[in-house]
Every structure is written in C-alpha cells, then in structure tokens.
C-alpha cells in the first residue's frame, strides 16, 4: 500500500508516463532495447531522488517490453529474444487483417502476466529477503555461481563460449583499482585504463552499436502492417482470453517461475508456446494466427520480466541484462542491492513494486491508444534513425563519467558485440559478470579468508551446500541428457 501511494504521487506518475513512452520507443526502435534505454538514461537520473529514478528506469523496462511486442506483431521483427515466440502467431494474425486484435491480445496478456508476477513479488520478496539476510560471503558466492551456471546452460549456446563471455566480463570489471588492496590491476601503465570499464558503456556498445551493425548487414527492410485498435478488437480479445484462461494462467506461471533464474524469459516464452500448442484442440491453427499462440508467450515473457525483479531486490542478482543495468544504477545512487535494501530503504523497494502495478495499467492504455503512432516510428527513414541512434548512444556513453575515452570504448564494444553475436558468444552473461564483478570477487575473497584458504567453505551447510549442488546440477544437466540420449540411441540401434 505504501508503495502504491508513493507510485501515484503526481511527480512519480509523470516520471512513470515519461519512462513508459521512452521505453516503448526504445523497444520499437531497432538497435535499442530496454537495457540500452536504461543505460543511456542513467546519467539523467543522478539528479533525481532514488525512488523517482528507479521508477523511471523500471518504466523504461516495462515500456520496452510492450514496445517489443508491437515490433514483433506488426513488423515480424522480434525486439528481444523472448519475443521470437510471439512472432509465430502474432505476425500471421496481423497479416490477415486482425492486427488490432493481435495487439490487444498481446498487451492484455502482458498485463495479466505482469500482475501475476507482481503478486508473487509482493508476497515472496520480503520472505526471500529475510532468508537472504542469513547469507555470508560463501553463500553470496554460491548464489553467484548458481546464477552463472544457470546462465551458461539456459542460453542454449555453447557452454565454452558462455564461460569465455563470463570470464571476460569479470576481467573487464577487475580492470583499474583493486577494491581490497588498492593496487592498480591490468592497466599496463596507461592512464585511461585506470578508470576501468563502465558496464553502462559496455551495454550501450554491445547491445546498441553491435545491434546496429547486424541490422545494416542484414539489409533492413521494414514492411509493417497498418494497425488500428477498435473497441470491437478489445471486446474480441477479451472473449478470447476468457476462453483461453487456462493457457493464460499457465503461461504466466511458467514465466514467473523461469523468470527468477537469469536469462529465463526466452525459454519461458518458448515453453509456454509449446504448452499452448500441445494442449490446443486445433493444432493446425498455430502458425496461422491462433489467439492462444499469442497469449501464452506474451504472458510468459512479461511474467518472467516481472519476476526478474525478485532476485535483484532480494539477493542483488539481476535476472536479465536490463535488470543488471538497473541494479548498476542502484549502486551508483548509493544503494546496495540485496536483502539490506528491504531493511534500510523499504520505501524505495515498495515504491519500485508499486510502480510495476501503475506502469502496467498505464502501459496497457498507452499501447492500446497510441499503437499506430509508435508503429509509425519504424517507418521513419533509416538514414535518419541510424545516425540519431548512434548520436544518442554516444551521449549516453559520455555522460556516465564525462570521459571522452568512453565513446571510443563504445565503438570498440560495438565491434566486439557484432563479432560475438555472429559467432554465438552470448552477450547477456558478460554484462551480468561486468556488473556483478566487484561483488562476486569480494564475496569469493572474503569467503576464502573465512575458510583460511580452504575452498570447501563454498560447500558449507546449511545454505551454501544446496545452492552449490544445484549449480553443479544445472551445469551438468545438458551434458547428462545428451549422454543419456546417445546411450538410448545406441541401444535402439542394437535392438533393431
């Protein structure tokens, strides 16, 4: 309640609307996304009170989620990986002249997924935070290891390449002054490296500029479908949602469950889509514009997006790249993410949770009312959009530390991001490692000091041990299932 009243103060409400509009715009634009939008806006938030600042960034995040669906339904271009599952049925439905209905379906399912997610958040966040207060350095390190092991395997990419990305992120985070001993590390006698790498610059370069290179390489073709939302569409969509209420619920729950783990939104939306298809009576409809094919992945994607907030505010572990950026923002504003946040800055946390409620209601309205306007952004000529986006990225990169060198880093990160995307190195774990770098390193070092150098401290019961076992389980699960498959295949080969 307290949070809700904070969120509906006129100033915060205004910030929320601005954030949502900006979020939808960055969600629709090619090359920009939630993570980028937040990264560029962080310098602006320095001048705001922390609650307003987090509301702004969170609303950019929700707005980008809504914007991403507009993009995938009307243009068949998924803005983020999880939105791929939405294009399967969203685009065909829009193509067959029911674009309005598709948009309403997607944003309403979004809303439901988010509401269920925020319900869970409201109830579970204080409990988990209370539990996490018992964590010492070994437990924190174990949570981090669990996070990264889940990330290595959930991405569906090569495990080796994911590991390289994580290690690289940690190394980049370590450049500059060592927080414990005060020694300069990996600066090789150069002054620019002494300041280290800012994760904001890395995010802007890797996601923004790198994405831009990919877009021009593929030869951008924007062939959107004109959409207008009529009242009849809203009515139609509502009826469909009641008809598919089971799928809606399942989608949201799958999303909320998988969203707690880092990088869970993409598997969640695919899983929900698969579930909807598996239980549907008319499987032929899928891929041609089935309503439940939109409802399920949208609800899961947004549910996951909402529940990604949970580990961030309770454990200090961000569940998605955008959350990582927001968490980096918290640290810059002088707040320590994690269980102490609940104790020391309760108003801030509840303000954030309250803003999720408000943002989703306003977001729904904005999308339904102004979808055609937002879609029109994509019809702006690319030769205007592209330089403007690069310009905005450069401002964002510079304004973090007012350093010119950061703009050069941004371009370099852009090239790295392009190469990584092309060669299947996942970028999200690298950003996460860069944000968590200092926390993870000090947790590992303190834990080792506690254990007098004995690494068995990471396996100490009662909390660290199950976390580590879970981490090992996640890490080796795909290897096991592959091994089992090849074994059964061999057996089958012998018997026939």
Partner 1 sequence: MRKADIIVALGLMLVGFIVLADTIRLGFGWGMSGPEAGFFPFYMGLGIVICTFFIVLRGLKTYKKEGAGKRLVAEGGLTQILWVLIPAAGMVLLTELIGLHFATVLYLGFYMGVVGKMHWFKVILISLLIPSATYIVFDKLFLIPLPEGLWGKYLIPF
Residues near partner 1, by CB under 8 A: 43-44, 47, 158, 160-161, 163-164, 167-168, 170-171, 174, 178, 180-181, 183, 185-186, 188, 209, 212-213, 216-219, 381-384, 386-388, 390-391, 394-395, 398-399, 402, 404, 407-408, 411, 414-415, 418-419, 422-423, 441, 444-446, 448-449, 453
* Token couple for 422: 């092309």
- The residue (of 115 and 439) whose beta carbon lies closer to partner 1 is 439
Strands (E), 247-365: none
Shortest distance (Å) from residue 197 CB to partner 1: 13
Question: Which ranges constitute the DSSP H helices of 75-209?
Answer: 84-93, 99-132, 137-154, 159-174, 199-203
Shortest distance (Å) from residue 244 CB to partner 1: 40
For the CA atoms of 180, 183, 184, 189, what is the dihedral angle to 10 degrees?
A: 180
- The residue (of 350 and 418) whose beta carbon lies closer to partner 1 is 418
Shortest distance (Å) from residue 170 CB to partner 1: 5
- The residue (of 85 and 436) whose beta carbon lies closer to partner 1 is 436
In this structure, are residues 187 and 194 in contact, taking their beta carbons and an 8 Å threshold?
yes
* Token couple for 50: 């922390």
Shortest distance (Å) from residue 478 CB to partner 1: 16
What is the CB-side half-sphere exposure of residue 95 using CA atoms within 13 A? 14
Q: Nearest Cα to 416, choosing from 429, 425, 403?
A: 425
- The residue (of 282 and 381) whose beta carbon lies closer to partner 1 is 381
Shortest distance (Å) from residue 235 CB to partner 1: 41
* Token couple for 474: 């996640």
- The residue (of 381 and 462) whose beta carbon lies closer to partner 1 is 381
Shortest distance (Å) from residue 213 CB to partner 1: 5
Shortest distance (Å) from residue 343 CB to partner 1: 28
- The residue (of 2 and 380) whose beta carbon lies closer to partner 1 is 380
Shortest distance (Å) from residue 436 CB to partner 1: 12
In three-state secondary structure terms, 39 is: helix
- The residue (of 127 and 160) whose beta carbon lies closer to partner 1 is 160
In this structure, are residues 194 and 176 in contact, taking their beta carbons and an 8 Å threshold?
yes
Return d(Cα 366, Cα 230) in angstroms, integer: 14
In three-state secondary structure terms, 176 is: strand
Q: Nearest Cα to 258, choosing from 380, 120, 131?
A: 120
Sequence-separated (6 or more) residues with CB below 8 Å from residue 338: 132, 314, 315, 316
- The residue (of 127 and 179) whose beta carbon lies closer to partner 1 is 179
Residue whose structure tokens are 């929320």: 16
Sequence-separated (6 or more) residues with CB below 8 Å from residue 219: none
């Amino acid at each position: 309640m307290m949070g809700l009243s904070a969120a509906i103060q006129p100033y915060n409400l205004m910030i929320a609307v601005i954030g949502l509009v900006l979020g939808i715009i960055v969600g629709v634009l090619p090359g920009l996304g939630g993570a980028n939008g937040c990264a560029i806006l962080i310098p602006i938030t320095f001048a705001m009170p922390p609650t307003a600042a987090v509301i702004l960034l969170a609303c950019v995040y929700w707005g980008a989620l809504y914007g991403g669906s507009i993009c995938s339904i009307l243009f068949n271009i998924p803005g983020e990986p999880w939105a791929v599952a939405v294009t399967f049925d969203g685009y065909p439905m829009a193509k067959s002249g029911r674009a309005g209905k598709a948009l309403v379906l997607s944003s309403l399912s979004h809303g439901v997924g988010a509401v269920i997610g925020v319900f869970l958040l409201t109830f579970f966040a204080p409990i988990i935070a209370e539990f996490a207060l018992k964590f010492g350095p070994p437990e924190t390190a174990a949570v981090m290891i669990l996070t990264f092991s889940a990330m290595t395997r959930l991405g569906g990419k090569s495990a080796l390449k994911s590991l390289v990305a994580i290690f690289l992120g940690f190394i980049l985070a370590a450049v500059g002054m060592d927080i414990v001993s005060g020694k300069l590390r990996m600066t090789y006698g150069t002054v620019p490296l002494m300041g280290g790498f800012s994760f904001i610059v890395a995010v802007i370069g890797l996601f923004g500029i790198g994405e831009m290179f990919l877009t021009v390489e593929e030869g951008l073709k924007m062939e959107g479908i004109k959409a207008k939302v009529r009242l009849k569409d809203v009515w139609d969509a509502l009826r469909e949602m009641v008809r598919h209420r089971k799928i809606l619920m399942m989608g949201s729950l799958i999303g909320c469950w998988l969203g707690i783990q880092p990088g869970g939104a993409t598997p969640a939306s695919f899983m929900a889509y698969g579930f909807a298809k598996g239980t549907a009576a008319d499987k032929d409809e899928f891929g041609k514009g089935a309503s439940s094919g939109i409802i399920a992945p949208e609800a899961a994607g947004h549910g996951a997006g909402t529940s990604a907030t949970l580990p961030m505010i309770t454990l200090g572990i961000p569940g998605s790249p955008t959350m990582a950026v927001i968490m980096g923002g918290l640290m810059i504003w002088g707040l320590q993410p994690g269980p102490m946040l609940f104790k020391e800055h309760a108003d801030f946390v509840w303000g954030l949770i309250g803003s999720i409620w408000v943002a989703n209601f306003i977001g729904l309205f904005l999308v339904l009312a102004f979808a055609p306007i937002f879609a029109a952004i994509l019809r702006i000529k690319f030769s205007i959009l592209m330089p403007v986006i690069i310009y905005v990225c450069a401002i964002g990169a510079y304004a973090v530390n007012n350093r010119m060198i950061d703009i050069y880093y941004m371009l370099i990160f852009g090239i790295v991001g392009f190469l990584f995307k092309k060669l299947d190195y996942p970028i999200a774990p690298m950003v996460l490692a860069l944000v968590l770098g200092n926390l993870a390193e000090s947790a590992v070092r303190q834990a080792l000091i506690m254990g007098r150098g004995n690494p068995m401290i990471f396996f100490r019961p009662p909390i660290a041990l199950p976390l580590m076992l879970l981490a090992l389980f996640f890490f080796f699960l795909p290897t096991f299932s592959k091994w089992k498959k090849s074994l059964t295949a061999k057996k089958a080969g012998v018997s026939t």
